Amino acid sequence: MRIDIICPLYNAEKYVKDLNDSLLKQKRVDIANILYILTESEDNTEKVLLSNNYKYKKIKKQEFSHSLVREKAAFESQADVIVFITQDIVIESKNWLYNLTKDINDEIICSYSRQISKFNNIEKYTRESNYPNKSFIKSKNDIEKLGLKTFFNSDASCAVNRKKFVELNGYDNKNLPISEDMYYAYKVIMNDYKIKYCADSIVYHSHNFTLRQIYERYKLTGKFFKENSYLNKYGTTGSGFSLAKYILKRIIEEKRFCLLLRYPFDMAARLIGMKVGEK
């Protein structure tokens, strides 16, 4: 299968060279194109792209959209499989891409990687909860058991069958500021296709967000769920509560009691952000 990799960039000077090197080291795959989409930046990202002869398109800040930028590039591709990644992932395995894409077909039309945080913060446990160590395949039959998690997906590292992505009309030409990956995953599942979670396709994806940044992210998430209210019947509140319980359990198990000081404020930032966004 011919693969196109699409990666939006913004102020990515410190990421792009190492990221591109890790893509070129991938084994047992046919990478047709690596396309970077550069939003006007304030650092030397463009100089890095030019000096290394990387393929890229440049857009203005007002043109950027998490959904529309990816959708446009995917629709213009001629590859069999599109792989979406973000600039801040770290790929250490030479089989990351093979493991992510090898089972993409006309039934399993979307897959996503396991993400691990290198930081010993609360995000470490959210990653554990969302990205377990065993692979599985999700279909419409799993909705009763998994609820909202049936539609969990992440285009920090995910693959889609390009032909099916186009047939399903991608993100429906919507400007989605967040959760565009879940929006598409819902369409995949409800159209009787399947999604594979690939635990053997590992990327390191680490953040150390401030409480303000967490609040702003969840505010956008709350707005997303308000605008896509059909998802609420699958248990948005229950999903958040389950994650909070898991994080607290893991903090106690690992005796990371210093995180207990952060925990209530972190959870409150998420909850308040969601509620504000929903209004």
Q: What CATH number does the domain containing 68 carry?
A: 3.90.550.10
Q: State whether 132 and 16 are in the same domain.
A: yes
Identify the domain boundary among 173, 204, 235: 204
Q: State whether 197 and 220 are in the same domain.
A: no
Number of folded domains that form the chain: 2
Question: Distance between CA 114 and CA 192 in Å, rounded?
Answer: 23
Q: State whether 131 and 33 are in the same domain.
A: yes
DSSP structure class, residue 79: -
Backbone dihedral region for residue 169 (phi beyond 0: left; psi -120 to 50: alpha; all else: beta): left
Q: Rounded to 5 degrees, what are φ and ψ at 26?
A: -65, 140
Q: State whether 60 and 125 are in the same domain.
A: yes
DSSP structure class, residue 7: E
Q: State whether 189 and 220 are in the same domain.
A: no
pLDDT number for residue 142: 97
Tell me the per-residue pLDDT of 117-151, one tens digit each, with 9 for 90 and over: 999 999 999 999 999 999 999 999 999 999 999 99
pLDDT number for residue 238: 78
Domain limits for position 246: 211-278
Identify the domain boundary among 204, 219, 236: 204
Q: State whether 9 and 52 are in the same domain.
A: yes
Residue 198's alpha-carbon distances to 145, 180, 264, in angstroms, are: 19, 19, 32
Q: What is the mean pLDDT of each run of 10 residues along the chain (279 residues)?
A: 98 98 98 98 97 97 97 98 98 98 98 97 96 98 95 98 98 97 98 98 97 97 96 85 95 96 97 95
Q: State whether 199 and 273 are in the same domain.
A: no
**């160590």: which residue's tokens?**
133
Q: State whether 230 and 156 are in the same domain.
A: no
Q: State whether 186 and 263 are in the same domain.
A: no
Q: State whether 169 and 194 are in the same domain.
A: yes
Q: State whether 162 and 44 are in the same domain.
A: yes
Q: 1 with 111: CB under 8 angstroms?
A: no
Identify the domain boundary among 204, 233, 258: 204
Question: Distance between CA 85 and CA 249 in Å, rounded?
Answer: 31
pLDDT number for residue 236: 76
Q: State whether 147 and 233 are in the same domain.
A: no
Tell me the per-residue pLDDT of 56-100, one tens digit each, with 9 for 90 and over: 999 999 999 999 999 999 999 999 999 999 999 999 999 999 999
